Chains A and B, each alone.
Chain A
Amino acid sequence: MKSSIITLLAAAALLSSCSQENEVSPAVTSGSADLTFDAVVNDADFTLSKDFTISGTTYNFSTLRYWVSNLKLVKANGEAYSVPNSYYLLEETKEISVQDGSFKYPARKREQIQLTNIPVGEYTSLEFSVGVDSVYNNNLSLQAGELSQLNGMTNISWMWHTSYIFSSLQGSVKQNSTTKTLKVETGLNTNFKSVKLTLPQALKVSSAAASAVISTNVAAITEGVDVMTTPSVGAAQGDVMSKVASNFSSKVFSVKSVN
């Protein structure tokens, strides 16, 4: 009898020691926070099927999709809370033809991530990556968060390179009387980039609701890319792809507000 109690205690200790895999020791209380990724085109609201002029070229968008992953909330003292299973597909898209038109993915808009069970505290910066880290990118059968093969964000177009598409921006671009189909995609482990954003004021996670709004500036995605010459960016446009990936890492995101 005695030995079984000891065993149970040991088991309980083991159970609790492994239920938290975060860098912060388990907090007594936790709270929630909403992160909104608000898509914009410079100062204007991002809208599908609407003309936007960006440095002399007229863009008209049909799809914006990107993975946000490995989200971390960091305190002023550097302590970080890594959100477990954080793989989110953010998107604003018309109906998409998957596999060259055989199947349809419905029109969808999603720009909010709801975080729950975050240890209470004041977080002063935010870190995340755009895309999918190599562990999951190299093995499509592993599952975490929203990762799935069912949403057209695996490499159907270049399937001989089986992995995830990290980001996809589609529509058309026009200069004078020339119109071209725009399809700018990133992927491949070398283009897995992280983003660090310092918050203008701390995100206070407590029993009250906390939230932050991040601007995703779509105009910055193709900054420095001649989209009339290279309207289609895939694995064969390696240099342009890495340019787009570094735009995501350093130019696309900024903090709009924290509440």
Chain B
Amino acid sequence: MLGFVLFLLVACQPQPREVTPSLAPFDRELPTHFPAFPSTPDNPMTQQGVELGRRLFYDKRLSGNNQISCASCHEPAQAFSDGVAFTTVGVSGRPLDRNSPALLNLAWMNNGLFWEGGATNLESQAFAPLTNLDEMAQDLVELETELKADPTYVQAFKRVFDGEIKVAYVARALAQFQRSLLSYQSAYDAYVEKKQALSSAQRRGLALFTTHCSRCHQGALFTDNLFHNNGLDDDFSDDSKEGVYQGRFRITRNPVDLGKYKTPTLRNIALTAPYMHDGRFPTLEAVLKHYATGVKASPSTDAVLTQNRSVRLSESEQQDIIHFLNSLTDYSFTTNPRLQNPF
């Protein structure tokens, strides 16, 4: 009886949403050096929701020409990135203006998505690739119609969201799946958990990394979720293409944000070349060379990187850092059967 009253109490509160009892909550045991898994009261994660999101993520019917899916640019073997600087696999065939980032540990990315942080959460973000003509070019009305024609989807949406198929639910399911993209089982993690040793070069690299890099590529997630100008460019006067060359400035319109981009995670970095928002560096060697000798100073360049003009790193120190970065590769993530194409 008490249960019944409690149920009523919960049922009439508009927020947060409750998990329908027949659904199993999603949970993963994370290593202790990870921050707690954030809760998402507006879109509570369930195993069934994650599973529906996985199906949608790999479903080509999500695009206008039914030929590309989210995974066309976010492939599991490459830690959900795509291996090219500017992909042309979108419906229009035109190159994008940005490098496709790896998708992992997104559940903690609570300070904006996209390289400049213009999307506040995964639920909103999904509408960008779905509708953008150079990505999936989907008519959202048509998307609902197409999905409603598939009884598997009709049932799954009914079960997960207790309702009809709506694009808002498509976005929520995609978000749930993407929050389940968790990478926490690299050699480095085993080292932190004292289960496995790192090579001496990797340990030297880790020490150098901690000194020079971890202020931005911080903690277990290897990002501070903040925006920095790491000195790739010093001229931001080109304001064409709605400010695509101006970094976070296009969001805030504040000159201190010129050339700033979100600190990317470095987990699985060996699998996600080319590097940076525009994929300008083909290798980690090129990235390290940039930090060691190529940092360009401008008013918005992060002071940490300009104090000594660049980060002073000898050739062998650069190599050590690369050895360390290689220890962040997590094949149990890229081959996790629960994250692969279900079709």
Contacts and interface: CB of A to CB of B under 8 A. Distances in A.
Contacts of B111: none
Interface string A144-171: 0000011000101011111100000000
Interface of B: 1-2, 4-5, 8-9, 12-14, 42-43, 64, 114, 116, 118-121, 123-128, 131-133, 137, 139-142, 166-169, 171-172, 175, 239, 242-243, 250-251, 253
A100 B132 CA distance: 9
Contacts of A7: 1-2, 4-5
B6 to A, nearest CB: 10
A3 B127 CA distance: 51
Contacts of B64: 102
A95 interface: no
Contacts, number: 107
A143 B168 contact: yes
A99 B139 contact: yes
Interface string A58-100: 0000000000000000000000000000000000000000111
Nearest to A105: B141
A25 interface: no
A14 B133 contact: no
B45 to A, nearest CB: 14
Interface in A209-237: 234-236
Contacts of B13: 18
Contacts of B142: 103
B242 A235 contact: yes
5 contacts: A14-B12, A18-B13, A19-B12, A159-B131, A160-B116
Nearest to A85: B14
B168 A142 contact: yes
Contacts of B133: 99-100, 102
A139 interface: yes
Contacts of B42: 139, 141-142
A237 to B, nearest CB: 9
Given A139-B42, A141-B43, A103 B139 contact: yes
A141 B124 contact: yes
- Taking chain A's interface residues, is the majority helix, strand, or loop, or is none over half, making it mixed? loop
A149 B167 contact: yes
A161 B199 CA distance: 43
A127 to B, nearest CB: 21
A18 B168 contact: no
Contacts of B243: 236
Given A21-B14, A99-B139, A103-B139, A159 B124 contact: no
A22 B250 CA distance: 39
Nearest to A140: B124
A165 to B, nearest CB: 13
A84 B192 CA distance: 52
Given A7-B4, A142-B168, A162-B127, A150 B120 contact: no
Contacts of B125: 162
B251 A138 contact: no
B250 A235 contact: yes
B192 to A, nearest CB: 34
Interface in A1-37: 3-4, 7, 10-11, 14-15, 18-19, 21
A238 interface: yes
B169 to A, nearest CB: 8
Which among B124, B127, B168, B175 has the greatest number of chain A C-beta atoms within 10 A? B124
Contacts of B137: 99, 102
B233 to A, nearest CB: 19
Which among A99, A102, A149, A234 has the greatest number of chain B C-beta atoms within 10 A? A149
The 6 closest A-B CB pairs, nearest first, are: A18-B12, A141-B123, A162-B124, A138-B120, A161-B118, A140-B124
Interface in A123-145: 138-143
B131 A163 contact: no
A67 to B, nearest CB: 16
A161 B239 contact: no
B114 A160 contact: yes
Which among A10, A19, A234 has the greatest number of chain B C-beta atoms within 10 A? A10
B124 A102 contact: no
A158 B242 contact: yes
Contact of A140 (B4, B8, B168): B168
B132 A159 contact: yes
Nearest to B91: A102
Nearest to A104: B139
B9 A14 contact: yes
A169 B2 CA distance: 55
A159 B141 contact: no
B222 to A, nearest CB: 24
A160 B250 contact: yes
Contacts of A142: 42, 123, 168
Contact of B124 (A11, A150, A163): A163
A139 B125 CA distance: 9
A138 B242 contact: no
Contact of A14 (B5, B124, B242): B5
Contacts of B239: 236
B1 A4 contact: yes
A148 B64 CA distance: 19
